[in-house]
Structure 1
Amino acid sequence: MVPALSIILIFQLVGEVISRALHLPLPGPVLGMVGLVVALQVIPPLGAIIRPAAQGLLANLALLFVPAGVGVVAHLPTIAAHGLALAVSLVVSTLLAITVGALTFTWVARLVGSNPDD
């Protein structure tokens, strides 16, 4: 389990170093995750090595959201003051994301010659 967690954390660290060194607007852990996905494709046995740690993290995923929930509660007065703007932006951005996703799917389906209605 320790080697598996070490591999995951090394990819996170490499992503963070790249993000900061190149002044990228992407979070380091996201770059590390992309690097890990690429490494899993290039080195298939790596999946067997990190599987136990990954399954352990996924089994306890709910605990990882506790700090975010505490942060929301800590900023409750600010959220209450701007609640309407937050709600509107949340609904509009969700609808926009769904629309863009549907249009992209339709465009790609036409591009590859399949009918999305099938």
Structure 2
Amino acid sequence: MLFFITLLLLCQLLGEAAVRLIDLPIPGPVVGMALLFVGLLIRGGEPPEALGQVAGGLLNNLALLFVPAGVGVMLHLDLVQAEWVPILGALIGSAVVTVAVTATILSLTARLTGAAPREEETKE
């Protein structure tokens, strides 16, 4: 299990290094996650069970990772109050775009796989 924690941190480190070297406008952990994904694709098959356990442990404690963001919002609450209209617009806009993209990808995936609608969906 320690190996897979180290692997995750190493992927993040490589992602951070790549972002700084190439000057990408993408967060380093996202690049690291892509590197991990490519590594798992090259490996083929199912990911190791221990990696799933490590990832599950991180996901179970994901709420703790939002504490610094919450503290940041509280620290800059006066700025949030001054800019609430653009923030609200960004939140609503991103939610609409997310729903639209998700629906489009679901529709395209259903067409590509030839999936038929379920019985409950056709009755409506």
The TM-score bracket by the shorter chain reads 0.7 to 0.9
Q: Secondary structure in 2 aligned to 1:80?
A: helix
Query: Which amino acid in 2 is paired with 1:34?
Result: A
Relative contact order, higher structure (CA 8 A, sep 6+): 1
Letter of the structure 1 residue corresponding to residue 34 of structure 2: V
Give the distance between the partners of 2:102 and 2:28, measured in 1 at CA: 25
Alignment of 1:26-37 (within 5 A): 26-37=26-37
Unaligned runs of 5+ in 1: none
After TM superposition, the score normalised by the length of structure 1 is: 0.78
Which 4+ residue blocks in structure 1 deviate beyond 4 angstroms? 103-110, 113-118
TM-score (norm 2): 0.75
Aligned length: 117
Could you tell me which residue of structure 2 aligns to residue 81 of structure 1? 82
Mapped partners of 1:84, 1:90: distance in 2: 10
Contact 1:4–1:51 at 8 Å: present in 2 too? no
> CA 1:5–1:91 in structure 2 vs 1: closer, same or farther (change >3 Å)?
same
58 and 102 in structure 1: CA distance in 2 versus 1, 3 angstrom threshold: closer
